[in-house]
Structure 1
Amino acid sequence: MYDFQPGNINKINFPSEILDRDVTLSIYLPKDFTELFKYKVVFCFDGADFFAFGRIHRTYEKLREANEIERAIFVGFHYEDVDKRRAEFHPQGARTPLTVKATANEILPFIDKTFPTFKVGNARVLLGDSLAGSAALITALSYPRIFSQVGLLSPQHDEAIQTLIERCQFKEQLSIWHAVGLEEGNFKLPTTGKTADFLTPNRELNSIIKANGFTYHYLEFEGGHRWKSWQYLLDEMLKYFLSDNISF
């Protein structure tokens, strides 16, 4: 049905009955992809941004050539527009529960059926930035045995996230990597021009995650709420999830 080319970002329209729309997915298979090996799967909410601005596939290939990480394929979940992104990714978004269900019950089975993947939670990584980070965390908290690894770049945090953390079963299954920038205390929102503080809520999220017994790595970096800063964190993030030999 689809012709996936290794070494390329393959964009498809995936029909989701749960979301009642086609979801644009970008699927990256490594340059040396072969059906002879199994692969971990890295899901990126805000997928187009992870590829275009983060260039996560280039970071992956560099680390693979250096034999620093394991084999993986990347799946990017695109948002349609800013308003729909908020509805489908925000912790209190009207359609966020549908995004979570579609990822676990439609997109993941499609990936597992199409490619030679490891069918275990700790071989699946969810990544997201800002609101997309919230969507990644909510998905992991909702399905910790299916998605056991989650990487967060300055996610939006509120009481809805806190409630999910406290209610999460199988907390021992989850491994969380979390970063926020020291310049994010006074971020100008591109959509409204108003300023927002991401640093304080993320420090609160840090305290809550620590108090709930997850496997957890947290860092604060010199930078702001933008891909110019986040891009340089992807190297460390991928090593954290795709290497058994890296310590922090």
Structure 2
Amino acid sequence: MTEFQAGSVNEINFPSKILERDIKLSIYLPKDYTALFKYKVVFCFDGKDFYSFGQIHRTYEKLRANNEVERAIFVGFNYESVDKRRAEFHPQGERTPLTVKAMAQEILPYIDQQFPTYKVGNGRLLLGDSLAASVALITALTYPRVFSQVGMLSPQHDDVITTLVQRCQFTDILTVWHTVGLEEADFALPTTGKRADFLTPNRALNQLLATQEMTYYYQEFDGGHRWKSWKPLLADTLTYFLSDNISF
């Protein structure tokens, strides 16, 4: 049995039969972790980026020290390469449905078996940035009763997501946090250098989600499509999902 160290990011190679590869998972147990209590689970697509650039675990510990958030553990899903990330996270990626299936049928059962977790949809939060935000939303729309909370930082939005929203019969049980930067109307994609507009499609996604019977929060922030802009948002995101005492 794997030994997990509290207060550290523990990396494991998780064998996925569905994706037919090992997935590197980065699991963070808080400093005050004890198996005597139950925990919510925060799943981060682009996990290594959330830890390295977003410092999400450090943000959580500061909030936790001030008793502003509930007990939670973090599970990062790390991509192998830029090309494979697109194939497994993009709304039109040929392997994205397999990623969604692996999350629900392999990774989640493993985490629930290893740790004392709340085994309900609102005890699980999916987070992602850009394409990782897209696959987080797609996962929740596919398994809304399993994953009912989603935090999205500047997701890629297209007709595939529109169709999934329209087809989902349980959007009323979802809670969605959605942000996009005002500088994202025209920027160079960090992976390809091509010009892109994320602001306009995200405003369209906002209009779509606002018509659904879900708990929905939308914000346009001063910043761009980069972690320098996303990192300051994480404290509010975690507080929104992990605290009952804050209203936005």
The one-letter amino acid paired with 1:75 is V
Alignment of 1:125-204 (within 5 A): 125-204=125-204
Structure-1 separation of matches of 2:157 and 2:194: 18
Q: How much has 1:190 moved relative to structure 2?
A: 2.2
The one-letter amino acid paired with 1:29 is L
Q: Show the counterpart of 2:79.
A: 79
The one-letter amino acid paired with 2:146 is I
- SS of 1:77's partner is strand
The one-letter amino acid paired with 2:184 is E
Q: How much has 1:146 moved relative to structure 2?
A: 0.4
Q: Show the counterpart of 2:215.
A: 215
1:133-163 deviation per Cα after TM superposition (whole angstroms, max 9, x unaligned): 0000000000000001000000000000000
Structure-2 separation of matches of 1:39 and 1:198: 34
The answer on whether the counterparts of 2:172 and 2:212 sit within 8 Å (CA) in structure 1 is no
Greater CA drift, 208-217 or 109-118: 208-217
The one-letter amino acid paired with 2:181 is G
Q: TM-score, normalised by structure 2?
A: 0.99
Structure-2 separation of matches of 1:217 and 1:191: 29
Structure-2 separation of matches of 1:26 and 1:192: 26
Q: Which runs of 5+ in 1 are unaligned?
A: none
Q: Which runs of 5+ in 2 are unaligned?
A: none
1:89-128 deviation per Cα after TM superposition (whole angstroms, max 9, x unaligned): 0001000000000000000000000000000000100000
The one-letter amino acid paired with 2:119 is K
Q: Show the counterpart of 1:92.
A: 92
Q: How much has 1:59 moved relative to structure 2?
A: 0.4
Structure-2 separation of matches of 1:149 and 1:38: 18
CA RMSD of aligned residues (A): 0.5
Q: Show the counterpart of 1:22.
A: 22
Matched, 1:46 2:35: no
Q: How much has 1:64 moved relative to structure 2?
A: 0.3
Structure-1 separation of matches of 2:180 and 2:229: 10
Q: How much has 1:169 moved relative to structure 2?
A: 1.4
Structure-2 separation of matches of 1:225 and 1:109: 33
Q: How much has 1:192 moved relative to structure 2?
A: 2.4
Moved over 4 A (4+): none
The one-letter amino acid paired with 1:95 is R
- SS of 1:183's partner is helix
Matched, 1:4 2:4: yes
Q: Show the counterpart of 2:244.
A: 244
1:42-72 deviation per Cα after TM superposition (whole angstroms, max 9, x unaligned): 0000000000000000000000000000000
Structure-2 separation of matches of 1:159 and 1:127: 21
Structure-2 separation of matches of 1:187 and 1:60: 30
Q: How much has 1:191 moved relative to structure 2?
A: 2.6
Identity fraction in percent: 73
Structure-1 separation of matches of 2:30 and 2:213: 34
Q: How much has 1:187 moved relative to structure 2?
A: 1.2
- SS of 2:125's partner is strand
Q: How much has 1:3 moved relative to structure 2?
A: 1.2
The one-letter amino acid paired with 1:33 is Y
Q: How much has 1:171 moved relative to structure 2?
A: 1.1
Q: How much has 1:212 moved relative to structure 2?
A: 1.7
Structure-2 separation of matches of 1:192 and 1:152: 22
Q: How much has 1:194 moved relative to structure 2?
A: 1.6
Q: Show the counterpart of 1:58.
A: 58
